[in-house]
With several copies, the nearest count.
Chain A
């Protein structure tokens, strides 16, 4: 069946996806206001798994759909359009592709099926307290001890760590190696003795993230994927897609739709000031969409976008913030309230304002993105 899908025209494929999503997506979790926990999103995960649509990018022999990059983007586009929640998808997006590329036969045989069934729920152990945007300077250490590695250190911003039962961890295997070398990629069960998870309350009062502490955490050498000094380069190679996603105009478009809802509720839809602001935002969203499409086209052609893709992230996240700032202005006193207006989650200016704040910080701060643009795109001197 997957083969059939890839053979369809783009338009026909889009229609197939749209029809299925509209008929099957659980309505109670449409357009969630925050990242969903496993209990909330697993129904959608299992639905995708059952349909065989969980892993669009994996080859068919491993249980994926084997879809072309272009088709994968169409699928994502339709999911976003419908307001589908993101699942806890680190197994699908990171662990699977990494193992397929670099794992042993045993690792593949053990782990891949458990991602497909949802038995393993993965979280990502990359960021550290003293290496925010500076991933290469991480301090967590994995020391070889006989047939084992012993991991010590601390991770932060571990998304969904409370929900996951496995974590993949970057840890330094060679303290003498240069910054980005001497780092290994480890697969670790969350119930291993020595792992402690402490939830991090974020400004929007959610517990999506956690700090994860590793205190003499002992894992067998088979927990290592690939070579002990190649973890960072393997991990980095998988970041290409994500760099496009964070620049998707959908997030801003969603916020703009909520701004219009709010304006209607506040009775300012016809006011000149509002119209000028909303129209400006609309054009920014549409212009960004035109730019985004040029990168989608690259992916469709099988190319890997270069460092200039950072433009999308910078512009999208700052536009998203501008829109939520307009929201606060229109909301007046309601913008200071903890709960959505009238319990209607479409009228939640304070919530969206807060949620938009970290977007310019995560996935490499916008300052880092501008450094990348100036150095790797404009080739300005160091």
Chain B
């Protein structure tokens, strides 16, 4: 990554490569079929993604990854969001980035699925709660573990590092709840379970996951907005294309502005993640991007349901799939309200005078 042109080429290549698994033109049949199943995603697609190098995108090259940046990862997850891909790449890549090189081989190949369990309270961004490790055993509780039903191993954040816990080890209890998008989130209860402690700091990987989720939401809102514009150009009522009604036109313009703001903030924050060395500046940018992405995704998906009219309220129509994805991901890795509060605590007041 040296010049801006290299970067832009690298981002283009990532987007192109995404089209193999997540083409923007595809219907959403595969996504529909996987809803409300276990584990809620397709392990063979997972392996394909691993073969494309996506899981190790952020892993240094000398550890077997691609050593790319947050901007590339966000470009990829934006494409995944546009197709509502359910495979837990954001979570998986966070774990891969935190694992020591000697643990990575079967993970990067897709044989073993390691997912992070970082959260212990609702509406929290705290990584260090909910688990205590000692003498190779762990006790604790983590919640909202994304797509937990598909994990082989959990990477549990604890003070000072992470604990690797086998899903089937004694003392490991996993209770999966179905989410609105047809996936699942796990409550992981650990009672003196065998665990391998790995010292480290998950902060950067975690911030990257927040960004990647923002980009996923961006892709999703952009796609459903595009679908809706197509609908307005074809659907007729009162003898006219409904897209010719000014009230719907102006509403569409407002949604377009939200999508564009989300795109600008996500791109800028991803660049800040790659370029800035100031932790507070990075976190402020990340929080602002996630807040905008979550809010805009909510406004845009709701607006698209309304613009579709009655058909938008059927499960058979696609906009609802995007609305339900928003319901899961807008609060994931911190809701808009949580990130607005974090931004307020981090950001200097404007320097205008």
Contacts and interface: CB of A to CB of B under 8 A. Distances in A.
B248 A367 contact: yes
A290 B268 contact: yes
A294 B268 CA distance: 9
A93 B332 CA distance: 45
B298 interface: yes
A47 interface: no
Contacts of B142: none
Report whether over half of chain B's contact residues are helix, strand or loop; otherwise say mixed. Answer: helix
Contact of B244 (A260, A273, A361, A382): A382
B125 to A, nearest CB: 11
Interface in A352-379: 353, 357-358, 360-362, 365, 367, 369-371, 373-375, 377-379
B274 to A, nearest CB: 15
Interface residues of B, number: 76
Given A254-B352, A256-B352, A203 B314 contact: yes
Interface string B317-335: 0001001100111111001
A361 B309 contact: yes
Nearest to B181: A336
A60 interface: no
Given A203-B313, A332-B335, A371 B291 contact: no
Interface stretch (A64-72, A127-135, A215-223, A225-233): A127-135
Interface string B290-314: 0110000010001001100111111
Nearest to B326: A336
Interface string A103-138: 000000000000000000000000101111110010
B252 interface: yes
A293 B267 CA distance: 11
A314 B185 CA distance: 37
B17 interface: no
B2 interface: no
A350 B180 contact: yes
Contacts of B264: 287, 290-291, 293-294
Contacts of B324: 203
A131 B253 CA distance: 24
Interface stretch (B68-76, B90-98, B255-263): B255-263
Contacts, number: 217
Interface in B192-248: 229, 232-233, 236-241, 243-248
B249 interface: yes
B122 interface: yes
B122 A311 contact: no
B229 A336 contact: no
Contacts of B243: 374, 380-381
A325 B301 CA distance: 13
A114 B179 CA distance: 44
Contact of B233 (A129, A131, A137, A380): A380
B288 A283 contact: yes
A360 B340 CA distance: 27
Nearest to A81: B352
B177 interface: yes
Nearest to B179: A336
Interface string A70-89: 00000000000101000000
A282 interface: yes
B340 A367 contact: no
B260 A291 contact: yes
A275 B344 contact: yes
B80 interface: no
A201 interface: yes
A290 B347 CA distance: 15
A134 B316 contact: no
A329 interface: yes
A315 interface: yes
Interface in B328-353: 328-332, 335-338, 340-341, 343-344, 347, 349-350, 352-353
A337 B314 contact: no
A105 B291 CA distance: 56
Contacts of B118: none
Nearest to A82: B353
Interface of A: 31, 81, 83, 127, 129-134, 137, 156-157, 200-203, 205, 250, 253-254, 256-257, 260, 266, 273, 275-276, 279-280, 282-283, 285-288, 290-291, 293-294, 308, 311, 314-315, 321, 325, 328-329, 331-339, 350, 353, 357-358, 360-362, 365, 367, 369-371, 373-375, 377-382
Interface of B: 119, 122-123, 143-144, 177-181, 185, 229, 232-233, 236-241, 243-250, 252-254, 256-257, 260-261, 264-265, 267-268, 288, 291-292, 298, 302, 305-306, 309-316, 320, 323-324, 327-332, 335-338, 340-341, 343-344, 347, 349-350, 352-353
Enumerate the 9 nearest inter-chain pairs by beta-carbon distance, A residue then B residue, closest first: A374-B249, A336-B328, A291-B264, A373-B253, A332-B123, A290-B264, A380-B243, A201-B315, A257-B352
10 contacts: A202-B314, A203-B324, A279-B340, A283-B292, A286-B265, A294-B264, A336-B327, A357-B306, A361-B313, A371-B246
Given A282-B350, A361-B306, 10 more contacts: A83-B353, A132-B237, A253-B352, A287-B288, A291-B260, A333-B119, A333-B144, A357-B323, A358-B313, A373-B253
